[in-house]
Amino acid sequence: MDDASTTVPPLPTDTWLRFSLAFKDSTRLCRQLRKSCPEPVALGNLIQQYLTERAGELPEHLQGLADARQLSSLFSDSTTQRCEQALAWQAQSPHHHLLGLDHPAYPALLQNTDDAPPLLYARGSLNALDYPLLAVVGSRKASHLALTHTRKLCQELADTGIGIVSGLALGVDAAAHRSALQARELRADSGPTIAISATPADKVYPGRHIELDTRIVESGGLILTEYPLGSTTRPWHFPRRNRLISGISLGVLVAEAGLPSGTLTTATHAMNQGREVMAVPGPVSNLQARGCHFLIKQGAALIEETRDVIEVLGPSLDRAQAALGMQRARPAGSNASQGELALEQRPALDAEEQALLDTLKAGSATLDELMTQSRLSISRLATVLGLLETKGLITTTAGGRYASC
């Protein structure tokens, strides 16, 4: 435990909670306040004094940014009710956390960015934030080749003790999360996976990833979001959350992206935040690879294998691992046996799962084709396909076809 004489305890959660809920643009206000009050503890004390005494220097610091009417929302019944709801949510489970800007577990790399939210909602193990983290992002309709490469890279990287960060979306995101989960199932000391959500902590999007969301939490991973409980998810939340994906990570690896692509906003945030940017090249005939080729032309590191990622992260990875008491990440040269081990330890399949998997090993198929061949009801077929996808045995390709991994 830290020495109490040298460690400043975090402010009451209610301080950051009220500030984040009272103002719709609380992150922007927080950014402006930190120009004159950069330290989170000092800023928190400024807010806390106003909440306690309804006096102090907060209005002066917010002059031109928020008027008296907006400041009064800090004490409104609506804000109070929402605070109580969030605190009750936190008390429901040891896996529920509210992280104010000065909380010891608030990601230090993100805390030092311009757009750090005043409060984060987290589900899972906060220990996941102690690992050196790499963001892996890419197309929702990624090619089979990109998904295969993503799985290999992420499993090997997680096996070295690197945590994998992504956005819980379809395609590359899901492949990255699942591969890290598979590595952790094979070795308990593998890096965890963290999902940055564009929805509130009490919702999962897309709905088909509810089971994946649960596995992340149960494996010692984390679901992280800045959006309040019960809030409505807007289209712009998805590109906006990308700054958090890059913000908590040492670097960003783009597995596949077209031009234009929402994925490239994560790379842009990474550049602005001083993070390493990496990209996996693809066939020149693949339009989904053009975003990666563009990044490489702009100076992003070209990544072909796990060793390349470790070399790019270099000193920053060494420092993060030293702080965690880990050894230098192992190159991927000795990981061939890990693939064999993964095959040996695949979960048992029932007859329906095995039959569908055998069908897809013979070639990709649409949902209608699988219904005809399997003679399963649509609901049962969807369930079995979901189980196979969760176990990392099948994937959805561009065009909505299912294929064996």
pLDDT for res 97: 96
Ramachandran category for residue 350: left, alpha or beta (phi over 0 → left; psi -120 to 50 → alpha): beta
Output the six-digit token pair for 8. 């400043």
Place of tokens 């590109």: 239
Distance (Å, whole) CA 167 – CA 175 = 11
**DSSP letter at 365?**
B
How far apart are the C-alpha atoms of 189 and 186, rounded to whole Å? 9
Extract the tokens encoding 158: 């997680």
CA distances from 311 to 54, 301, 315, 356 (A): 52, 10, 9, 41
On whether the CB atoms of residues 65 and 29 are closer than 8 A, the answer is yes
Separation CA 23–CA 67 (nearest Å): 11
pTM of the model: 0.78
Tokens of 134: 């790499």
List the structure tokens of 112: 């030092």
Question: In a structure prediction context, what are the per-residue pLDDT tens digits for the chain, which is 405 residues long?
Answer: 344 334 455 666 789 999 999 998 999 999 999 988 899 999 999 999 999 888 778 888 887 777 777 888 999 999 999 999 999 999 999 999 999 999 999 999 999 998 999 999 999 999 999 999 999 999 999 999 999 999 999 999 999 999 999 999 999 999 999 999 999 999 888 999 999 999 999 999 999 999 999 999 999 999 999 999 999 999 999 999 999 999 999 999 999 999 888 899 999 999 999 999 999 999 888 888 999 999 999 999 999 999 999 999 988 888 777 766 665 454 444 343 343 333 344 456 788 888 888 888 877 788 878 888 887 877 778 778 877 876 777 876 655 677 776
3-class secondary-structure state, position 55:
coil
